[in-house]
Amino acid sequence: MSPDDQRRADEGGASDERETSAARLAQHLGWQVRDPQLFSQALAHRSWCAENPGREPNERLEFLGDAVLGLSVTDYLYRRHPGLPEGELAKTRASVVNSASLAATARELQLGQCLLLGKGESSSGGRDKPSILADAMEAVIGAVYLDAGYEVADRVVMQLFGERLREAARGPGEEDYKTRLQELSAQRFDQLPLYQVSDTGPDHAKVFRAEVYVAGRLAGRGEGRSKKQAEQMAARDAWSCLQADDETAQAGAPGTPGP
């Protein structure tokens, strides 16, 4: 087989895997796709469109999906929490409708495996970049809306973000350091935290231990009686360390007043 034939075979295999991942994604969302071209557009990054003239990137669908997501979340909060004042409603919505939350949800769905990316973007880790994942997540929501209507799009949004909304609307309580760390990591490194969790002990008395990695480096550890609690403790450890690094850097910056 010639090098060109091998390249075409590799690309064909990658295309088959991507299409399988996309079909699995639609099935997971409960979305019976009527317009495959629309779904394909939602997954098309501008870097891929630059290599494939005549194909439209997902940016317009992203714009639409942002509005659909905002309406769905706002409607849910307004109807379910009549006692929350406007300021709290806005704060709760912002804790869910943000790039870090969108990217984390996209990662959970393995959306990156479905994306159409240019060769350079793909080889540089674009399938795991929070900005690309967040935009694609909104584009998929926009495509669902156009293809199946608002009712289905609203159901998909609640399926994806309902639990986050319910946690955010509970008000003050245990600090959500996982969300804080997501936002900080996405802003500073354009990457999301990665968690590794193990457990020891009998079923009735398990102890969970979590490690969280930020930008490829171990950033925090934590343990608890549940996986969620261990991840929160690890996130708090990492977030505190990153904040301390910021303060140290600022204190040592030229022109910074000393104590």
Among candidate residues 66, 121, 183, 231, the one labeled active-site is 66
pLDDT of residue 254: 57
The strand pairing partners of 146, in sequence order, are none
pLDDT at 14: 55
Does 18-169 match 193-251 in CATH topology?
no
What pLDDT does 10 receive? 35
> What is the C-alpha separation between 204 and 227, in angstroms, rounded?
14
Q: How far apart are CA 225 and CA 76, in angstroms?
A: 32
> Which member of 62, 121, 135, 138 is catalytic?
138
Give the CATH number of domain 18-169. Answer: 1.10.1520.10
Examine the residue annotation and report whether 199 is marked as an active-site residue of this protein: no
CA-nearest of 202, 225, 200, 227 to 212 is: 227
Query: How confident is the model at residue 204, as a pLDDT?
Result: 77
Coil, strand or helix at 209: strand
- Sequence spans of domains, the chain: 18-169, 193-251
Q: CA 251, CA 39: separation in Å to the nearest integer?
A: 49
- Per-residue confidence in pLDDT tens, the chain, 259 aa: 443 443 333 344 457 788 888 889 999 999 999 999 999 999 999 999 999 999 999 999 999 999 999 999 999 999 988 877 898 889 889 888 888 889 989 999 999 999 999 999 999 999 999 999 999 999 999 999 999 999 999 999 999 998 888 877 765 444 578 888 888 888 888 888 999 999 988 887 889 999 999 988 999 999 988 898 899 899 989 988 888 776 666 656 555 444 4
Q: What CATH number belongs to 193-251?
A: 3.30.160.20
CB of 143 closer than 8 Å to CB of 29: no
The question of whether 56 is a catalytic residue gets the answer no
